Structure formats: C-alpha cells, structure tokens
Amino acid sequence: MGIYIKGLDFYPALVTHEGRMFEARFVDIPNCVVFGDSAIEAEIKAGEALCLYADRLRRCGRAMPSPGVVRGESNHCDRYVAYIKAPTRPLDANTNHLGALTEPRAIRDTVIQI
C-alpha cells in the first residue's frame, strides 16, 4: 500500500536527472514515463500522465492498480522518489486532463458530489 491521506492515494514515481532532462517513471505503472526540463516539470507531467492513464482504464472498465511503496531508495540530487496524487474523480467531456472545467457554461451544469 502506498501513502494514504484522507482517502487520497499517492503513486511513487522515480525522478532521475541525466544530462539536461529529468525523467519521471512510475513504479507501479509500466511504460508510464514522462520527461521535463526541470524536476518540477517532470512531476507536473507525471500527474497529468497519471490522470490520462486512470481515464483510459476507466473507459476500458478497469480499476487503477494499488499504489506501492518504494523501499531502499536513497534520495540523491539526481535521483529521488516523488509521490504523485492519484486522480480523485473521473474525467468527462467538460473537463481537461487535469480535471479543470474547459468551458465556463459547463459550471452551471456541473454537480459537485461530496
């Protein structure tokens, strides 16, 4: 089980720096890799990729795998583990890949569930 905070799951991503690029690779999701010019950019893109992956699974009728825990990884300036928050709600036609509303008129039609 990964990190659990108030109903949120966090997926570990190994962030590495080689040359001029940063790479974020999810431990629990094979072939889900993103690149960025900075570590922050790689982590942001990792969150976007995780949302897209969750949406694709949802459309196929499958659930996200349970997040794992990375043990024995030493934090180093060129290699560390970042925990990326899992998407909290499915995407629909009125939201972008980050879950933000894309059209102002969609706000009045959106129902917020708590």
Domain boundaries, the chain: 3-88
26 Cβ contact list (under 8 Å, min separation 6): 11, 12, 13, 32, 33, 46, 49, 50, 84
pLDDT > 60? residue 36? yes
Name the range with the highest mean pLDDT among 48-62, 63-77, 83-97.
Answer: 48-62
pLDDT in the model for residue 9: 81
- Answering whether pTM is above 0.85, one says no
Fold of 3-88: Double Stranded RNA Binding Domain (3.30.160)
Query: How far apart are the C-alpha atoms of 111 and 46, rounded to whole Å?
Result: 28
Which residue pairs from 36-42 have beta carbons closer than 8 angstroms and sit at least 24 positions apart in sequence?
39/15, 39/82, 42/15
pLDDT in the model for residue 38: 94
